[in-house]
Amino acid sequence: MREQVIQVVEKYIDAVRLNDASAVPLHPDAVCEFPTNTYRGGAAFREGLAQFTSIMKSIEVIRLIVDGEHCVAIVNIDTIFGLIPFAEHIHVANGEIVSIRGYCDPRPMLSGTKTTA
Q: What is the pLDDT along the chain (117 residues), one digit of tens a residue?
A: 899 999 999 999 999 999 898 899 999 999 999 998 999 998 899 888 888 888 899 999 999 999 999 999 999 999 998 899 999 999 999 999 999 999 998 887 777 654 444
> Is residue 30 one of the residues assigned to a domain?
yes
Enclosing domain of residue 67: 2-111
User: Domain total for the chain?
Assistant: 1
State residue 113's pLDDT score: 53
> Is residue 36 one of the residues assigned to a domain?
yes
State residue 8's pLDDT score: 97
Q: Kindly report the CA angle at 65 between 62 and 69, in degrees rounded to 5?
A: 140
- CATH code of the domain containing 107: 3.10.450.50
State residue 47's pLDDT score: 87
> Is residue 117 one of the residues assigned to a domain?
no
Using CA atoms, how far apart are residues 90 and 14, in angstroms rounded to an integer? 15
> Is residue 116 one of the residues assigned to a domain?
no
- For CA atoms 111, 32, 53, 1, give the dihedral sign: positive
> Is residue 12 one of the residues assigned to a domain?
yes
Q: Kindly report the CA angle at 100 between 94 and 103, in degrees rounded to 5?
A: 150
Cβ burial of 55 (10 Å; 0-12, 13-18, 19+) is middle
Using CA atoms, how far apart are residues 13 and 56, in angstroms rounded to an integer? 12
Instruction: Enter the pTM of the model.
Output: 0.88
